[in-house]
Structure 1
Amino acid sequence: MYLKSVELLRDKIPSTVDYPFHLPAIRSLGKLHFTHKVTFFVGENGSGKSTLLEALAYQSGFHTAGGGRHNNYQVHASGSALASYIRLGWMPKITNGFFLRAESFYHFASHIDEVDGGGFSRYGGRSLHQQSHGESFLNLFLHRFNEKGIYLLDEPEAALSPTRQLSLLRIIRDLSGHSQFIIATHSPILLGYPGAQILSFDGSTIREIAYEETEHYYVTRQFLTNREPMLEELFLDEED
């Protein structure tokens, strides 16, 4: 492990009513400790998990639209509203790694088309734009994530089928001996990674929970075991 903690610098906060400090999970952030090589951020949309992950990426020197320390390209609004108000605790400090942001991956792929002179050897041998969304993600994981580092992933499941999510779990497992992963996700498959730390952003504070406590696990399990009753209740108003 490299990143041990993140701390909110409360004395620097300009206002608790403005973004992102109006979010309960961010506003209540004290000092958050990372205790495992693989950590997941979970929570509803708008709970603050991606906001914190983006700030971690910025403070780590990564491009907030996606990339590592040496990926420099222009993207509209590619900063971080939170980054100036947190302090990271490293042991030891590491500069290698990558920030994956699913929603802005297109911009990163375009940047690689412009600068890669090595035949896309770190991306499966082809332009990321010439691969399917899922192929480009998986080839990034397989070929770019091959050195010790810290890897910050924001909803990597967005382009991955269930089978390829399982492939990502194996990649994480293979790299976790010398790398650290912090992942914001809605995927009950990824959350099932054995021994991971799961931090929930739902509620008034960020708290550590078990896999079986996540809404992602509970709702998915209920749907798979009670599909027809759940759909009947969901569509009840339409029948009326």
Structure 2
Amino acid sequence: MDHLHSQYVRGIKLKRDKVPSFNDYPFNLPSIHSLTELSLHPNVTFIVGENGVGKSTFLEAIAVSLGFNPEGGSLNFNFTTYDSHSVLEHYLKVIKGVLRPKDGFFLRAESFYNVASNIEKMDSEPAPGPRVIDSFGGVSLHEQSHGEAFFSTFTNRFRGNGIYILDEPEAALSPIRQLSMIARIHDLVNENSQFIIATHSPIIMSYPSSKIFELSEDGINETALEETNHYKIMKQFFDDKNRLLHHLLLD
């Protein structure tokens, strides 16, 4: 199927006329303050930038606008362990495509433990049919390392024909696992899936069929991998790490 016709989310628009004040958080963040409308890639869209520029806030608002739980999980996860998400989702318009996804998941590193706990809670209650954990590989996520549990979810739970929102997935993954993740993304894209990913990893953001939006103090701008600060710093380090370390470690 033509990916342009299987795109589930075509764009994200800020309802600027509804914003109460651009002086208040999160609308005072330069990336949100300057937001009008973003056209997403039908395959993979990356949201990148330094800490504190609003990546996770923006991604979370997109996820909640699509019906996901703020702490992560599939659309039927409705638990909460804390109420800290912003009001941004109330001011976003999600521009959807013609088709509707058959699957979906919001995977975020910082609250994945809570998702794993909620799965165990659901499976502890009598219910007909298979256990919830069976769709995640069958092994308790708490009995695996953080990286193993993360990758098991990505490998087993993501079924294709879906919209998948990932917040800093590299936090739990080694470089080799990040490369494996790219291969899995490609498999799922070929199964009519769409990804929106916030990441710091130049490895992950190298996936070729994608758009990269970099959030910064200058706002939000589409860019190329080689122009991101993440790539430039990593390249500078590996090209001449001794020189960089010399400047960093001067007494």
TM-score w.r.t. the length of structure 2 is: 0.91
Report whether the alignment pairs 1:129 with 2:169: no
Write the deviation string for residues 50-87 of structure 1: whole angstroms up to 9, x where unpaired.
Answer: 11110110011111101111012122115442000010
Gaps spanning 5+ residues in structure 2: where? 1-6, 124-129
Cα distance change of structure 1 residues 75 and 93 upon mapping to structure 2, 3 Å threshold: farther
**Superposition RMSD on alpha carbons, in Å?**
1.3
Which of 15, 20, 38 is residue 21 of structure 2 equivalent to?
15
Do residues 3 (structure 1) and 9 (structure 2) align?
A: yes
User: Which segments of structure 1 move beyond 4 Å, counting only runs of 4 or more?
Assistant: none
Give the distance between the partners of 1:30 and 1:134, measured in 2 at CA: 36
Identity %: 49
Give the SS at the match of 1:143: helix
Whether 1:179 and 2:193 are equivalent positions in the alignment is: yes
Give the length in aligned residue pairs.
237
1:98 is aligned to 2:105: yes
C-alpha separation in 1, matches of 2:50 and 2:66: 25
Distance, in Å, in 1 between the alignment partners of 2:220 and 2:132 is 43
1:189-229: CA deviations, max 9, x gaps? 10111131100111422111011001111111110110111
1:65-115 deviations in Å (ceiling 9; x for gaps): 011110121221154420000101001253531111110111111001111
Between 1:87-96 and 1:120-129, the stretch displaced more is: 87-96
Correspondence 1:109 to 2:116 = yes
Q: Tell me, what secondary structure is at the counterpart of 1:25?
A: helix
What is the match of residue 155 of structure 1?
168
> Which 5+ residue runs of structure 1 have no aligned equivalent?
none
TM-score, structure 1 length as denominator?
0.95
